[in-house]
Structure 1
Amino acid sequence: MIETGGDGRTWLLSGAAGSYGLHLTDRDELVHLHWGPRISLADAESLAAEPPPPYWPFESQLDGREEYPVEGGPRFVRPALSVRTPAVRGTEWRRTDSTVAGDELRLSFADPVHHLGVTLHYRMREDSAVVERWATVTHEGPADSPDLELLRADAAAWTLPLRERWRLSQLHGRWAAESRLVRSELTPGEKVLGSRRGHTGHQHLPWVALDAQGATEESGEVYGCALGWSGSWRIAVQQLPDGTVQITGGAGHDDSGLLRLAPGGTYTTPVFAGLWSEGGFGGASRAWHAWQLAHVIPDADRLRPVLYNSWEATGFDISEQQQRTLARRAADIGVELFVVDDAWFGARVSDRAGLGDWTPNRDRFPGGLGPLADEVHGLGMQFGIWVEPEMVNADSDLYRAHPDWVQHHPGRTRTEFRNQLVLNLARDDVQTYLWEQLDGLLSAAPVDYVKWDFNRCFTDAGWPGEPYPQKLWTAHVHALYGLLDRLRAAHPTVAFESCSGGGGRIDLGILSRTDQVWTSDNTDPLDRLVIQHGFSQLHPARAMAAWVTDSPNTQLNGRVSSLRFRFVSAMAGVLGIGGDLTEWGEHEIAEAREWVDLYKEIRPVVQHGEMHRLRPPDGGLSAVQYTHGDDIVVLAWLQAQHYGEQQPPLRLRGLDPAAAYACLDTSAVHRGAVLLHRGLRTALRGDLDAAVFRLRRVRGSGDA
C-alpha cells in the first residue's frame, strides 16, 4: 500500500509488517523519514514537519538524511550517483514527476545541465516486509549533446534510525568455505564489502544485517539489505560523525566508470532490497525467504527433484555406457534427476581443452546425448547436463576461430585460470554464438535441467576497439541475464542451476533466473553445516543444493562420516547425491533408498516451510526446524560428545502451546508448551550423529 500526503510531497509505503516513509522538501531534497514498524500517514507527515537537525561546522545538514545522495553540493557522504561530461561533474536536480502505479512509487528528477533524468523506484508488496529499490538513469539530451559518463549509479541508499551502538553481520569466505557468518561492532567510518572479480564471488555475499541492541535469533530489531547483482559489486556501510548509519550498494566495484550514456540511452540499476524485522535474525531470515519464494525465484511453488550428478564419480573420464550404469544405480535408490557433468562435449578429456565447443563428443557419445537421455527418461528420471558457456579453452575450435572473442588487453599476456579464458559476453557476436549453441543443444536432446557453471574470475577485462571498454563489467552481466531469460522463454520446461566453483555466484539477481544454486564445492557434511547456516541467513532451503558424496571425503579433508550424517546434512536443502554409486555396497544402496524415500516425504516441509535455526553449528548439538501447516520437521546433528556431557533438548519454535504434536518416528505425543519450553530430546550420541524428527499437530485449543 502506498499513501501520499496532502502536500503531495510525503509518501508512505506499508507492507505486511512495516512501513517506509520519505519526503520531498521545498528545495527538492528527497529525505528519509521512517523505516520500521507500521505507522500511519499522519505519523509520516508529522515526521516531515520536524525541523532539520542543527548545523555543525564542517558538516552537512543533508548527510545521512537523503534517500539518494548525489555527487555535488554540500554533501560529504559517499555519493550514490556520480555523473560527468567533459565540462561538468556532479548533479543538481529538480523533481519533475511522481507516480504511484500499483505497489510501485516512482519519483523522477532532472538535471538540465547534464540533460540527465533520474527515476527512483520503490516497491513494498502487501504480503511482504521487503522494500525493493532501484534507479533508472537516462540521457535526455538532444542527439548532438555529448555523452554522459556514468561513474557510479548505486541502486539505493538506506538510512537507519539513530541508535547508541550498531552491530554488523556479514557473510564472508573463500572457495569451499563460503557463507561464514561474522558479526562485529560497527565503528565510525566506512566498511566496504564487494567483489572486484566480475562475478558475485566466494569472498562475500551481497548482504548485510545490522542490529543495535543485542538482537538474538528470535527477538530484537534487525535491518537487512541485499543486492541483486551477479557481477562486480559494492556495498558500503557508513557510520557518520553524528552516529547515523547509511548503506549504499550497487553494481561495479569502484567509481572508475560504469558506462557512457549516449542521448536517449538508459541505465537501470539492480534491485537493492531492504528489510526490517522485530523478530530477530530468524524473523528477518523467514521474511527474506518468504519474499524470494513469492517474488524472486521462478516456479518456486514446484518442488525440486532429488538429483544425481556424476562428476565426483567420474571426473573427466566418462563414457555413455558408464553413465548408463550410474543412471540405473541412481534410479534404483529413487533419484528423480540424472545429471551428466563435465566432459561430455568437444575434446574435453581434461580441463585443458574443449570449453566453447558445445557439441557432444562422438567418441564418448556416438549418437549424441539423445540415446542416454532416452534411457534416463525410461528409468523414470529427468535428464540434465553441465555447461560453462561464458568460458573457453585456448585448445578449442571456438578459440582457434575467434581468438578476439575473449576478454583481453592489446599487447598483454592473456591470463589463464583453470586453463581457460573468459568470453566477452558484451559482444553481440558472442551472444549470438552462445544462443545458437545452447538453443540447438536443448532442442536436439530432451534435456530437462542445465547446471550453468562459471569457474574463473575476470583478470583481463579489456575490449580492444571499444571506445569505452569499462562497460564490459556491467554489459557482461546484462548479456548473461538476457541469454538466460531467452533460453527460459524458449525452453520453459528446462530448469537451471547456477554454479560458480561452488558458491561464487549466489545473489538475488541470478536467483531470479535460476531454480536453485550450488552452495559450495565442499560436500563434507560437517563443513556444510556451517556453510548452510550462513546461506540460510538470506536464502531459503528451496534454493540450496546439497549433495551426499563418498566417505572418506578424499577431495578435501579425508573426513569419515556415516551415510546417516551425510544424508541428514544434505536433506536441509535440495537433496542431491554425488558419490560413485558403482562402489557402494548393497547395504549402502538399501540405506540410501530409505533416506531418499524419507526426504521425498518431508520435502514439502523443507522446501516450502518456515525455517527456525534452533541451535547454530558451532560445536556440539545443532539443529534446524521447518514448519509447513500442521507438519514439522527437525534435523539435528551432533558433532562430538565429551564424557559426562548431556545434550540439551531442542526447544522448538512457532508452535501452539495448547496443541498436541505427534512424533511420527516414535509415536509419542508431546504438548506444544512442553516442546516450546523444555524441548525435544534427540538421544544423539558420540561423534557425527544425526537424526530426523517428524511431528504433526493433532489437536489444539481451537479444535472441536
Structure 2
Amino acid sequence: MTRIEWTTSRFALEFAAPGDAPVSLVALAIDGGENAVAPHAIVDLFTAGEHRRRTSQAFVRSAAGERLRYRSHEADASHLSIRQHDDATGLEVTTSVRALGDGLQWTQTIHNLSDRAWTLTAASSLTLELADRADARLLWGESEWLAEGRWHEQGLGDVLPDLGLDSHRQDGRGRFVRSSHGAWSTGEYLPTGAIVRDGGPSVAWQVETSAGWSWELAQTEASVVIAASGPGDLEHQFAERLEPGMSFTTVPVGLVVADGGRDAVFAELAGYRRALRLLRPADESLPVVYNDYMNTLMGQPSTEELLPLIEAAAAAGTEVFCIDAGWFTDDTDYWSAIGVWTEAPSRFTGGLASVIDEIRSRGMGAGLWLEPEIVGVDSPAAQSLPDDAFFRRFGERVIESERLHLDLRHPAARAHLDETVDRLVEQFGVSYFKLDYNINPGVGTDHAATSAGAGLLGHTRALRAWLIDVQARHPEVLFENCASGAMRMDYALLSVAHQQSTSDQQDAVHYAPIAASAPASVLPEQAGNWAYPAAGMSAGETAVTLVNGLAGRFMLSGFLPQLREDQTRMVSEAVTLHTSWRDRLSGAVPSWPLGLPGWDDDVIALALRSGGETFLCVWSRGAAGQVVLPGLGGAVRTTFPAAGTEWPVAVRGGDLVIEVPAGPDARVLVL
C-alpha cells in the first residue's frame, strides 16, 4: 500500500494506492478541519467498447477505471500529479490537482501507450465520495434566456431517496444529473453545484468549459459520489479517438471545501474564481459602461440618436460608451447578414469616426459590439471563407437561424477575427468590445474531429486561446463576455474575459433575482448587471433598476436625456456610489441573508462584504412588511437612494430588522 499525502497552504489530501485497486482519495480537509470525503477511486474512464464494470445509470464504476493501478506521483507546493496505468488497454491516466486560491482544480490526462487506437467516450475530471450525507442539502441552478441563475436548495434525500441499500449490499443504480445542451454552456443548467451542511464540511464544484459538461450524484451503500466531467457520449455526442502515442486532457473542474454552510462555501468559491483569472492591468479599472441597446436603440444606432445619449451618459459619470449592434450596416434587419465588420456606409452622419470622436471628447472610452463566431448566410464572409472554417456535420455547413458558425480551430476563421479586432482598434481607437453569441448551433462540428462533441470542445478551447492572444496584442482593450445575456457564463471564458453580461432581461422587477443570484455563478467584479432607467418609471421602479446595477458591475442603458430631474439625480448618485465602492468589489464575498432568491420572492437581499463594510442590496416586490436579516447588525453609513420612502432600520440581537415598504422599490445600505 502506497500512501500519498499532499498539503497546501489550506488543504490536506491523502490518497491510498493499493496494489490491487485504483488510487483512492481517502481524506480531504481544509484548515485542519473535518475530513470531507470517504475513500473512493479518483477517476472513471469509458471507451467505445467498454463501459461500466457494474451496470448503472451513473458514470461510475467504469471497467477501465477499476483496472487502473498506481505507477508514480510528483508533488510540489501547488501541484500534485498521480499516474496510473491500465494493463489491459495500455491507457495511462495522469490526475492533476492544482492549488488555486481557495480551491483545487482537477483534470485528467489520458495517454494511449498501446500499439492500437482506443476511442474515449467519457472521463470524469473530478470524482469523490462524501464522508457523510446526513442533514446535507444540495444547491443547483437553472438558467434560461431572461431567467438566469434560478437556484434551488433541497434536502439531499429529496433528490437521492433512501433506497435501503444496506439490505441489498450494493450501490444504487440511479443518479441526479445536471448537464449542458449544445453550445450554450449555461442555457439550461449551471455548471456549479454544492452540497452543504450548516456546520460543515460543505463542498462546491464548477465545471470550467464552454463546451459540453455534466455533473451528477450517485448513491453508494454509505454515502454519495460526486462526478463532474466535460462532454460525454450520452449527453453531448462526444468521442475522442486516441491513436498510439496520442493523449487527451479533460476539462478542468474546480473544487472548494468550507467548514460552514451555503454562504461559507460560496465565499470559498469566490476566492478560487479570483485565482483562476488571467488579469491584465486594464482589468483592474472596472469602468462604468453605458450601452445603447437595452430598452434604448435596440440595434438601430445613428448619429442623431447617439449624440444626446453620449452627452447624458458622460454627465452621469459613465467611463465607457459602447455602441451595440447595427453600426456595421445600413439595413434595419441584418440578422442573416452579419460577419463583415466594417462601418455602415451611410448610417452615421460624418461617419462612425465622428461619433467615436464625440465619445472620446466627453472623456469616455469607445466600445463596439461584435458577434465574432457568427457569419450570416447572406454575409459576403459566407462566400469568402472556406467550408472548413465553419461548423459542419456530415459534410454540410451547420445553419442555425440563418446563421453559420465559425470554427476557430481553422486558421482562416481565426485570421478573420484577428483582422477585425486589429483594424477596429487601429482605425477607431476602440478600447472595449462586447462579444455576443446569439445562437446555439447544437452539439458541435464533426469536421476534423472524431465526433461533433469533440469538435465543439476543440472550437471552444481555440476561442479561449484566441481571446488570450488578442488581449496580449491589445493589453489596453477590455472584452465583455455575452451570449444573449448569460447563456455562456462559464469560467473557461470568464477566467480570461473582463466581465459578463448577466441577462438580456428588460423588466427591472424581473431582473432583481437575476442580479441578486449572479454572485453565486460569477465574481461580483465581473457581474455586469444592467440598469435601464426610463422616464415612465416611478421612483421605486427607478430605484429597483439602479440597485440591480449596483449589485455587481454597474452597466447603464436607457434614454437618459428623457429622464425626470429626480431620476437624473438618482442615476448620478448611483454612479457615484458605485465608483466609490467598486475597488472593494475585487475582494467582495457574497452572502444571501434571506437565502438564494426565488424567482417570485417578494423580498430579496444580497450582501457583499469587503474591507470591513457590507454593501447590502434589498429589493421589495410585494406587500409591505418586516424582514429580519440574520447576523447583519451594524450602523448604517450610507443609504441609496438618499431621497425617497423611508425604510426604517433597527438592530436587534445582532440582526438587522428592516421595515420594507410595498414594492416595487429597492435600497442599498452600506453597513
Give the TM-score band, short-chain normalised.
Answer: 0.7 to 0.9
Superposed CA deviations along residues 462-495 of structure 1, whole A, max 9, x for unmatched, are 4457665553121111111111111111111111
Checking the alignment, whether the CA contact within 8 Å between 1:525 and 1:570 is kept in structure 2 is: no
Q: 1:500 — aligned with what?
A: 483
- Which of 334, 337, 340 is matched with 2:320 structurally? 337
Shift of 1:688: 1.6
Is 1:66 equivalent to 2:59 in the alignment?
no
- Aligned to 2:85, which of 110, 116, 132? 110
Tell me how far 1:207 sits from its aligned partner: 1.0
Q: What is the rounded CA distance, in whole Å, between the counterparts of 1:443 and 1:149 in structure 2?
A: 46
- Aligned mates of 2:526, 2:563 — CA distance in 1: 28
Which of 7, 30, 38 is residue 13 of structure 1 equivalent to? 7
Q: Does 1:201 align with 2:175?
A: no
> Which position in structure 2 is the counterpart of 1:298?
279
Output aligned runs, 1:618-637, within 5 Å.
Answer: 618=598, 619-637=601-619
Matching residue of 1:563: 542
- C-alpha contact (below 8 Å) 2:330/2:345 kept by paired residues: no
**CA distance in 2 between partners of 1:111 and 1:368 (Å):** 65
Equivalent position SS for 2:132: coil
Matched residue, 1:670: none
1:641-664, Cα deviation, whole Å (9 max, x unpaired) = 25xx4x1354444x7xxxx84624
Question: What is the match of residue 400 of structure 1?
Answer: 383
Once residues 114 and 637 of structure 1 are traced to their aligned partners in structure 2, the CA distance between those partners, rounded to angstroms, is: 58
- Code of the residue aligned with 2:590 in structure 1: it is M
CA contact (8 A) 2:399 2:441 kept: no
Give the CA deviation at 1:220.
4.5
Deviation at 1:550, TM superposition (A): 4.2
Residue 527 of structure 2 aligns to which amino acid in structure 1? Answer: M
Compared CA separation, residues 252 and 351, structure 1 to 2 (3 A)? farther
Aligned to 2:213: 233
In the other structure, the counterpart of 1:663 is 637
Identity across the alignment (%): 22
Quick one: which of 67, 71, 79 aligns to 1:96?
71
Q: By how many angstroms is 1:170 displaced?
A: 0.6
Q: What is residue 614 of structure 1 aligned with on the other side?
A: 593
Q: Distance in 1 between matches of 2:339 and 2:69?
A: 49
Query: What amino acid sits opposite 1:395 in the alignment?
Result: D
Say which SS state the counterpart of residue 562 (structure 1) adopts.
helix
In structure 2, give the amino acid aligned to 1:407: F
Offset of 1:70 from its aligned partner? 3.3
Distance 1:445 1:229 in 2: 33
Match of 1:588 in 2: 567
SS at match of 1:536: helix
The equivalent of 2:414 in structure 1 is 431
Give the equivalent residue in structure 1 for 2:647. Answer: none
Q: 1:27 to 1:310 in 2, by over 3 A?
A: same
- The aligned residue for residue 437 of structure 2 is 454
- CA offset at residue 254 of structure 1? 2.9
Query: Cα–Cα, structure 1 residues 450 and 348, in superposed 2: closer, same or farther, change >3 Å?
Result: farther
Per-residue deviation at 1:411?
Answer: 7.7
- In structure 2, what is the equivalent of residue 272 of structure 1? 253
Q: Which moved more, 1:541-550 or 1:339-348?
A: 339-348
Structure 2: gaps of 5 or more residues: 162-173, 643-649
Provide the C-alpha distance between the structure 2 equivalents of 1:559 and 1:463, rounded to a whole number of angstroms.
53
Name which of 64, 86, 104 aligns with 1:131.
Answer: 104
**Any conservation in 2 of the 1:166–1:186 contact (CA below 8 Å)?**
no
Distance (Å, rounded) in 2 between the aligned partners of 1:169 and 1:180: 10
Determine helix, strand or coil for the equivalent of 2:119. Answer: strand
Distance in 2 between residues matched to 1:681 and 1:470, nearest whole Å: 51
Conservation of the 8 A alpha-carbon contact between 2:44 and 2:123 = no
The gaps in structure 1 that reach 5 residues or longer are: 1-6, 54-63, 84-88, 668-673, 696-704
CA distance in structure 1 between the partners assigned to 2:151 and 2:65 by the alignment: 38
Question: Structure 1 residues 329, 155: closer, same or farther in 2, change over 3 A?
Answer: same
Any idea what SS the aligned residue of 2:504 has? coil
Match of 2:263 in 1: 282
CA distance in 2: counterparts of 1:76 and 1:552, whole angstroms: 62
- The secondary structure found in structure 2 opposite 1:154 is strand
Of 645, 657, 664, 1:688 maps to 664
Runs of 4+ in 1 over 6 A off after TM superposition: 80-83
* Residue number in structure 1 paired with 2:27: 34
Whether the aligned pair in 2 keeps the contact of 1:406 and 1:424 (CA below 8 Å) is yes
1:162 paired with 2:140, answer no
SS in 1 for 2:233: coil
Change (3 A) 1:279 1:166: closer
565, 574, 587: which one pairs with 2:553?
Answer: 574
Q: Provide the secondary structure at the position in 2 that maps to 1:510.
A: coil
Q: Map 1:207-222 onto structure 2 (within 5 A).
A: 207-211=192-196, 215=198, 220-222=200-202
Q: Measure how far apart 1:253 and its partner are.
A: 4.5
1:34, distance to aligned residue in structure 2 (A): 1.8
Q: Distance in 2 between matches of 1:297 and 1:465?
A: 30
Match of 1:25 among 15, 18, 28: 18
Distance 1:637 1:548 in 2: 14
Determine the structure 2 residue equivalent to 1:323: 306
CA distance in 2, matches of 1:99, 1:634: 45
Separation (CA, whole Å) in 2 of partners of 1:317 and 1:664: 39
Distance 2:140 2:463 in 1: 27
**1:269 partner amino acid:** T
Q: The residue matched to 1:511 in structure 2 has which SS?
A: coil
Normalising to structure 1: TM-score of the pair?
A: 0.82
Asked if the contact 1:651/1:676 (under 8 Å) is kept, the reply is no
Pick which of 495-504 and 461-470 moved more.
Answer: 461-470
Residue matched to 2:171: none
Residues 235-254 of structure 1 mapped to structure 2, 5 A cutoff: 235-240=215-220, 242-254=221-233
What is the distance in 1 between the residues matched to 2:397 and 2:535? 41
The residue number in structure 2 matching 1:481 is: 464
TM-aligned CA deviation for residue 124 of structure 1: 2.9
Question: Contact 2:125/2:229 (CA < 8 Å) preserved in 1?
Answer: yes
Query: Residue 6 of structure 2 contacts residue 75 of structure 2 at CA under 8 Å; is this kept in 1?
Result: no
CA distance in 1 between partners of 2:616 and 2:435 (Å):
32
Residues in 2 aligned to 1:350 and 1:198: alpha-carbon distance in whole angstroms: 25
Q: Which is worse superposed, 455-464 or 363-372?
A: 363-372
- Which segment is superposed worse, 532-541 or 383-392? 532-541
Larger mean Cα displacement after TM superposition, 306-315 or 264-273: 264-273
Query: What secondary structure does 1:202 align onto?
Result: coil
- Measured after TM superposition, the shift of residue 155 of structure 1 is 1.3
Determine the C-alpha separation between the residues in 1 that align with 2:523 and 2:75: 31
What is the Cα-based RMSD across aligned positions, in Å?
3.3
Matched-pair contact (CA < 8 Å) for 1:288–1:538: no
Note if contact 1:651-1:677 (Cα within 8 Å) is conserved in structure 2: no
Task: Give the 3-state SS of the residue equivalent to 1:96 in structure 2.
Answer: strand
Alignment length, in residue pairs? Answer: 635
1:81, distance to aligned residue in structure 2 (A): 10
* Distance in 1 of aligned mates of 2:414 and 2:268: 37
Secondary structure at 1:693 match in 2: strand
Measure how far apart 1:174 and its partner are. 1.7
Cα distance change on mapping 1:329 and 1:468 into 2, 3 Å:
same
The 3-state SS of whatever aligns with 2:393 is coil
